[in-house]
């Protein structure tokens, strides 16, 4: 009774199945919904966007592994069995996110969208360029991903602050926390990077009221948003409104409340918006499967599972 079931929607399951079979040749791998066999034999589930109720048949389930760093897709199932839920913490995924955040902070800092537009018009014109040390970056979420991005941006010379739920202390990073610390964090932030999880407390947090609190009179002459956390953290219509009211000078969005972003969304054609298709830090089967197989081996050897999420806080 130690079978592993893959419960995957929205992604091609084949590379995940191949990788699990290669990484754990002795393991009985089952596929939801058609190749499950006897569900009583399933001890572990590895999941991405599992449909509500999908785990209900697994009466002997011992743990659920999210195939991504975020667990909102798993927790959306109100009938989840009371077993540990483990999320992915992987240095490769973390570095991919830091690459993405750094790329887009620098893109806004170095006005690359403006130079792209000038190139299309054959315009040779140099704009004043502030030093990184004059620019305030603020990172919402000082977890595994937010901390690494903060450290790299600080190394580049930016003035970096972070905002988290509990108080944190990080060398070289100005730390704010909780509802009481949010306004002060926003007031000093020109480039806002969102790396929060989607929970009941963070849903829709990136709305017009919040975006209007960002610092607009800094060295960059406007405020910028980069959201690579989850789409339901943001209110798309409010981002458009913030751009149109100059509360934002630009936005990079990797995630959206509805994915793929609907063709009718005004974000697609907005000149202030840079869109990527939820690819800032993809879960790669080779890396993620190795991590999950290692977790199961640890668990079966009598050690605790690592990176078990707290259901009450939702991350
Ligand atoms: N776009 C992509 O491709 C992609 C890829 C990977 C991950 N992600 C997203 O990135 C998120 C963050 O990943 P992670 O590994 O860094 O997560 P993590 O280690 O769990 O860190 C989450 C951070 O958010 C903070 N936080 C949570 N709720 C908050 C609240 N209500 N108010 C203030 N701060 C709050 C936490 O505060 P404390 O420090 O006080 O706990 C923590 O600092 C994931 O949940 C996922 O949604 C996106």
- Both tokens of 126, joined, read 């140099």
CA 184/CA 99 separation, integer angstroms: 27
Residue 202 pLDDT: 98
Q: Read off the pLDDT of residues 122-147 as tens digits, 9 standing for 90 and up.
A: 999 999 999 999 999 999 999 999 99
201 lines ligand 1 (CB under 6 A): yes
315 lines ligand 1 (CB under 6 A): yes
The catalytic site residues sit at 230, 278
222 lines ligand 1 (CB under 6 A): no
CA 46/CA 31 separation, integer angstroms: 10
State percent of the chain over pLDDT 70: 100
Dist. CA 193 → ligand 1 center (Å)? 12
285 lines ligand 1 (CB under 6 A): no
Distances (CA, A) of 251 to 42, 108, 254: 44, 9, 10
Site to probe by mutation for ligand 1, drawn from 162, 164, 182, 291 as the one with most ligand atoms within 8 Å of Cβ, is 164
| Nearest residue by C-alpha to atom 1 in ligand 1 | 228
Dist. CA 9 → ligand 1 center (Å)? 22
The helix (run of H) or strand (run of E) holding residue 285 is: helix 285-300
Q: Read off the pLDDT of residues 30-44 as tens digits, 9 standing for 90 and up.
A: 999 999 999 999 999
272 lines ligand 1 (CB under 6 A): no
Residue 98 pLDDT: 99
CA atoms within 13 A on the CB side of 270: 22
Torsion 183-189-192-196 (CA) sign: negative
**Rg (alpha carbons) of the chain, rounded to whole number:** 21
Dist. CA 69 → ligand 1 center (Å)? 9
Q: Which 8-state DSSP code applies to residue 220?
A: T
Taking the model in full, what pTM does it have?
A: 0.97
272 pLDDT tier (thresholds 50, 70, 90): very high
Residue 140 pLDDT: 99
């Amino acid at each position: 009774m130690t079978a592993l079931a893959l419960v995957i929607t929205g992604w091609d399951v084949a590379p995940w199945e191949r990788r699990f079979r290669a990484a754990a040749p002795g393991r009985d791998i089952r596929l939801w919904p058609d190749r499950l066999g006897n569900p009583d034999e399933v001890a572990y589930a590895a999941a991405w966007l599992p449909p509500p109720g999908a785990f209900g048949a697994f009466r002997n389930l011992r743990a659920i592994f999210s195939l991504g760093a975020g667990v909102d897709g798993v927790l959306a199932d109100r009938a989840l069995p009371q077993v540990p839920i483990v999320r992915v913490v992987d240095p490769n995924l973390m570095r991919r996110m830091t690459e993405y955040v750094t790329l887009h902070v620098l893109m806004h800092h170095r006005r690359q969208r403006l130079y792209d537009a000038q190139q299309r018009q054959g315009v040779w014109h140099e704009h004043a360029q502030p030093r990184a040390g004059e620019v305030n970056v603020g990172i919402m979420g000082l977890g595994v991903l937010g901390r690494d991005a903060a450290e790299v941006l600080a190394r580049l010379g930016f003035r970096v602050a972070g905002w988290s739920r509990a108080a944190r202390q990080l060398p070289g990073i100005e730390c704010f926390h909780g509802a009481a610390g949010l306004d002060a964090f926003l007031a000093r932030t020109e480039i806002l990077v969102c790396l929060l999880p989607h929970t009941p407390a963070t849903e829709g947090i990136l709305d017009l009221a919040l975006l209007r609190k960002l610092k607009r009179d800094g060295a960059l002459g406007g405020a910028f948003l980069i959201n690579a956390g989850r789409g339901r953290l943001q209110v798309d219509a409010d981002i458009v409104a913030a751009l149109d009211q100059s509360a934002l000078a630009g936005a990079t969005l990797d995630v959206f409340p509805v994915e793929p972003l609907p063709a009718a969304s005004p974000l697609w054609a907005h000149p202030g918006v840079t869109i990527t298709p939820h690819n800032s830090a993809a879960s790669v089967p080779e890396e993620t499967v190795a991590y999950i197989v290692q977790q199961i081996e640890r668990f079966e050897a009598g050690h605790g599972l690592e990176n078990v999420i707290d259901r009450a806080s939702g991350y």
